Chain A
Amino acid sequence: MTLEIPRNHPPGNEASTVVVAGTTHHPQAWKWYHYFTFNVDHKVIGIQYLVTAFLFYLIGGLMAVAMRAELATPDADLLEPNLYNAFMTNHGTIMIFFWIVPSAIGGFGNFLVPLMVGARDMAFPKLNAIAFWLNPPAGLLLLASFFFGGGSQSGWTAYPPLSLVTAPTAQTLWVLAIVLVGTSSILGSLNFVITILFMKVPSMKWDQVPLFCWAILATSVLALVSTPVLAAGLILLLFDLHFGTSFFKPDAGGNVVLYQHLFWFYSHPAVYLMILPIFGIMSEVIPVHARKPIFGYKAIAYSSLAICLVGLFVWVHHMFTSGTPGWMRMFFTISTLIVAVPTGVKIFGWVATLWGGKIRFTSAMLFAVGLLMMFVLGGIGGVTLGTAPFDVHVHDTYYVVGHFHYVLFGGSVFGIYAGIYHWFPKITGRMMNETLGRIHFILTFIGTNLTFLPMHELGLQGMPRRVAMYDPQFTSINEICTIGAYVLGISVIPFTINILWSWVAGKKAGDNPWNAMTLEWTTSSPPLIENWEVLPVVTHGPYDYGVHNAEVQTATVTEASA
């Protein structure tokens, strides 16, 4: 059969009519109800991940705002202390396991990786669907824990012996939820590894693989290696809770530090799981909107793998005050500081990409540049915290909270926002509203800094984490934090309106609104069910802006106001 396919192709390659052998597939779109079924298409699964994760984000955000409202005054007058603890635990758990990881890896990874490497789907589509559908039940289990003993109250780390004595039923539900999410993570990750390694379109060389795919590859390897260790730790915890073993009961020969080792062997790599895909998103967004080739492609690609490797050997820096011996503190201080090297490579690569570029400050680019600043600040805080002598003093104070919110909110969530603004046209076929996007960015940026910068000062003054009541001397700084949290809460409203409105009535985007060069922009928006009628042929690198005739056609729509 013969098909007329208008496509972006390099000049001099006037292939407007192609002969397709063996496809009897007529392009069509999924109906709305397909998104509520066990669909195996990677794009549907990606959207399912993003939407469910976003719903969890709203829930977790409401918890955070409630906590900050409670902390506006020194006394526990708004929430019961136990309820505060439950909110604190579930806010952390939801934000990590149900928002950032599913949306960054599951959402963007699923939607983009097959499109970027020129595959028609993931390597194991059914497994992919299984991996997604483990998420909603896990979330329901977690939220159900509020009705059994008032929610798990031992922090998202669930350290024994506290987690063995408070609300055992809720703790059990928590453990089961995390094991389900972990399983989902493992299955999704092995899918990504196989897809990226073996499903590339034949014409794509290894130096033409988009950096997002490198990042997802590193992330997936990390998840594959570290997640099962958490599963082991949680299984031990479950046995301690219900089957009378004593792994973590010191009075019967157990050891609580062992749990911390098992837990952090996963949960430190988990923070790299949350930031590596974001690095990938940055590496995609920045070259496109700066109209320049990425600076140091190989360095950025390999630094992802380096972070993956080094990230497995830093977990004890969470336990400097758990009685770890001196040699261990020294070793893990050094390894923690070494992580800053590949991260710095990336940061400088992006800054050098911006240097002299023709920057278009679209919403996605605003968030990417904001992320650069926020992440550097958070990273500097991380260097201080990774140093054992300093960490001993600020461990379990608000300094830690400030630091990891800088890198998780100012890094991961900004990155997810940037990714949504950048790929929304591809996902839905419609542009997002730039004005609302600007408002959203300004509110988010102000709110983030207002909330989390004072927390560093609070921590240095010695205010402990995870408490509902505090000494009145901290009141004024806490009020600032609370105001910032309200701003952050409000900032989500324009974003949500923007998404809903744009999805229904946004401007039509066309195939390639940003004039980007990676493969996902060569298909229609939203992509066809099998992604392409004919698999694309890679003729140039993913970021060859302004290089040897690799220009793409002008987009069908006028680009967003810059």
Chain B
Amino acid sequence: MAIATTSPSHHEEHQDLRVKGLLAFLISESLMFGGFFATYLFFKGSNEVWPPEGTEVELLLPTINTIILVSSSFVIHFGDTAIKRNDVRGMRKWYIITAIMGAIFLLGQAYEYMTLGYGLTTNIFSNCFYLMTGFHGLHVFVGLLLILGVLWRSRRPGHYSATKHTGIEMAEIYWHFVDIIWIILFTLLYVLTKF
């Protein structure tokens, strides 16, 4: 059953597999958020008045935040195309802009938390609201760390190139994931409460 073959180096394959592994992990992550969404919809469906009085949400700031986060997805994609052209400096430029946008998003979230006037424990809507946005914010923070890690590593010339940029790609995929989750969250928590 065993015949001579060469022992392959798995390096090339693994570059590829890491992305696939991340995708599998993100499916899992989506399902965790899915549990939160299900919780939210469960309470939304079982309450006459939703959200209850006193815990309404503002639309202006979150909308600006949403626009920032969604456009940052495009920005990070420009970075990815740049590295595929072997343009490390261009990649760094786009990734820095993405990181700034992510930080603005987080600061906007913090500002929103401060100005809403109700906290985590106020009622069942605020429970869901803070838990979901909080967990999403945590994921934005992790995505930010990944982007900063990419920037940190890319200071070394030759670390990333057109043929070797799995880390960059993974940071990008994670960022897109965070973005998609936010779109669903925004729809559920903000848009649907107004209609």
A232 neighbours in B (Cβ, 8 Å): 32-36, 39
B10 neighbours in A (Cβ, 8 Å): 120
Q: Does A507 contact B (CB under 8 A)?
A: no
- Which listed residue (B1, B2, B18, B35) contacts A233, Cβ 8 A? B35
Known contacts A9-B1, A239-B127, A247-B127, A194 near B17 by CB under 8 Å: yes
A187 neighbours in B (Cβ, 8 Å): 25
Q: Mark B1-28, 1 if CB is under 8 A from A, else 0.
A: 1111111111001101110110011011
User: Nearest CB to that of B37 among chain A residues?
Assistant: A232
* Shortest CB distance A227–B (Å): 7
Contact yes or no, B120 A224, CB < 8 A = no
B36 neighbours in A (Cβ, 8 Å): 232
Q: Does B47 contact A (CB under 8 A)?
A: yes
Interface size for B (C-beta < 8 A) is 42
A539 neighbours in B (Cβ, 8 Å): 1
Q: Does B38 contact A (CB under 8 A)?
A: yes
- Which listed residue (A227, A252, A533) contacts B124, Cβ 8 A? A252
Q: Does B29 contact A (CB under 8 A)?
A: yes
Q: Does A389 contact B (CB under 8 A)?
A: no
Contact yes or no, B38 A261, CB < 8 A = yes
Stretch of A14-22, A328-336, A378-386, A422-430 lying at the B interface: A14-22
Q: Does B67 contact A (CB under 8 A)?
A: no
A229 to B46: give the CA distance in the assembly, Å.
21
Listed residue (A124, A228, A252, A539) with the most chain B CB atoms within 10 angstroms of its CB = A228
A189 to B10: give the CA distance in the assembly, Å.
21
B27 neighbours in A (Cβ, 8 Å): 224-225
User: Nearest CB to that of B25 among chain A residues?
Assistant: A190
A530 to B120: give the CA distance in the assembly, Å.
52
Contact yes or no, A21 B21, CB < 8 A = no
User: Nearest CB to that of A523 among chain B residues?
Assistant: B2
Q: Does A13 contact B (CB under 8 A)?
A: yes
Known contacts A224-B24, A232-B36, A253 near B123 by CB under 8 Å: yes
A158 to B13: give the CA distance in the assembly, Å.
43
* Shortest CB distance B54–A (Å): 13
Q: Does B121 contact A (CB under 8 A)?
A: yes
Contact yes or no, A198 B38, CB < 8 A = no
Known contacts A123-B21, A536-B2, A245 near B127 by CB under 8 Å: yes
Contact yes or no, B14 A15, CB < 8 A = no
User: Nearest CB to that of A519 among chain B residues?
Assistant: B1
Contact yes or no, A198 B13, CB < 8 A = yes
Known contacts A20-B6, A534-B5, A227 near B43 by CB under 8 Å: no
* Shortest CB distance B56–A (Å): 16
B7 neighbours in A (Cβ, 8 Å): 20-23, 25, 120, 530, 533-535
B131 neighbours in A (Cβ, 8 Å): 235-236, 239, 245
Contact yes or no, B4 A15, CB < 8 A = yes
B46 neighbours in A (Cβ, 8 Å): 255
- Which listed residue (B2, B14, B21, B29) contacts A228, Cβ 8 A? B29
Contact yes or no, A535 B5, CB < 8 A = yes
Q: Does B195 contact A (CB under 8 A)?
A: no
Contact yes or no, A19 B1, CB < 8 A = no
Q: Does B42 contact A (CB under 8 A)?
A: yes
Contact yes or no, B121 A244, CB < 8 A = yes
Contact yes or no, B25 A255, CB < 8 A = no
B43 neighbours in A (Cβ, 8 Å): 253, 255, 258
- Which listed residue (A193, A224, A245, A534) contacts B2, Cβ 8 A? A534
Q: Does B104 contact A (CB under 8 A)?
A: no
* Shortest CB distance A96–B (Å): 20
Q: Does A337 contact B (CB under 8 A)?
A: no
User: Nearest CB to that of B130 among chain A residues?
Assistant: A245
B16 neighbours in A (Cβ, 8 Å): 198
- Which listed residue (A186, A198, A228) contacts B17, Cβ 8 A? A198
- Which listed residue (A22, A23, A229) contacts B35, Cβ 8 A? A229
User: Nearest CB to that of A120 among chain B residues?
Assistant: B10
* Shortest CB distance B110–A (Å): 18
CB within 8 Å of B: which A180-203 residues: 186-187, 189-191, 193-194, 197-199
Contact yes or no, B124 A253, CB < 8 A = yes
Which residues of A does B touch, CB under 8 Å?
A: 5, 7-10, 13, 15, 18-23, 25, 120, 123-124, 127, 186-187, 189-191, 193-194, 197-199, 224-229, 231-233, 235-236, 239, 243-247, 252-255, 258, 261-262, 265, 517, 519, 522, 530, 532-540, 552
Question: Which A-B residue pairs are the 6 nearest by beta carbons?
Answer: A232-B35, A228-B32, A18-B4, A244-B121, A190-B24, A253-B124
10 A-B interface contacts by CB (under 8 A): A123-B14, A189-B24, A198-B13, A228-B28, A229-B31, A232-B32, A232-B36, A254-B124, A262-B35, A534-B2
Taking A190-B24, A247-B39, A530-B7 as given, write out 20 further A-B residue pairs in contact, using a Cβ cutoff of 8 Å, ordered by the A residue number: A9-B1, A15-B3, A18-B4, A22-B9, A120-B7, A190-B21, A199-B17, A224-B28, A225-B31, A228-B34, A228-B35, A235-B135, A236-B131, A239-B127, A245-B120, A246-B123, A247-B128, A261-B38, A265-B35, A534-B7
